[in-house]
Amino acid sequence: MMIFENPRVTGVMINYYFHCKRQLWLFANQIEMEHSSDLVLIGKILSNSFYKDKQKEIKIEDLIAIDWLNFEDGVIHEVKKSDSFEEGHIWQVKYYIFYLKKKGVMVKGKINYPKLRVVRDVELEYGDEGRINEILSDIIKIVRSEEVPKREDKKKCRGCSYFELCWT
């Protein structure tokens, strides 16, 4: 399988896969409402003000967008506005590390939670590459489906840009 093609799986899609399959489907099928979400705006402001001096937002092949990169120690950083840790955050960064490794670039990752003032380390561990391949296959199956996945438990919907679409 050409894992980075048809559809091209972005880092955001990996995060949505863990958060909500419906969110993944809507995003991948270009139902975009991100700009209407206050949380998205807050995230941008937080990330701009906390990390002013770093090399910002590096996009690679329109597939992954690294929030900033520390050239000295080869660490990529993902900034999360959230006030809770989510499994999808970890896998998003693992996917970036995996993707760059396939391109011959070895990096480690960190997730910065400015609201929590916490930084978490992320590395590819034994078995992760196989798991990422499974996740990619599953994502492709979901986004190619003509059926929109069911809504999640409403508790998970706080701050989601599709809230109005799903619940009104």
From CA 129, how far away is CA 94, in angstroms rounded? 9
How many residues are present in the chain?
168
Q: What value does the CA radius of gyration of the chain take, rounded to a whole number of Å?
A: 16
Q: Which of 15, 23, 92, 112 binds ligand SF4 (CB under 6 A)?
A: 23
Strand (E) positions, the chain?
Answer: 55-60, 64-70, 75-79, 108-113, 118-122
> Is the CB of residue 152 less than 8 Å from the CB of residue 159?
no
The least CB distance from residue 148 to ligand SF4, in Å, is 9
Q: Which is nearer to ligand SF4, 39 or 166 (CB)?
A: 166
157 counts as binding ligand SF4 under rule CB under 6 A: yes
Question: Under the criterion CB under 6 A, does residue 152 sit at the interface with ligand SF4?
Answer: yes
Considering the complex, what minimum distance in angstroms separates the CB of residue 54 from ligand SF4? 30
Please give the residue ranges that form the binding site for ligand SF4 (CB under 6 A): 20, 22-23, 26, 151-152, 156-157, 160, 162-163, 166
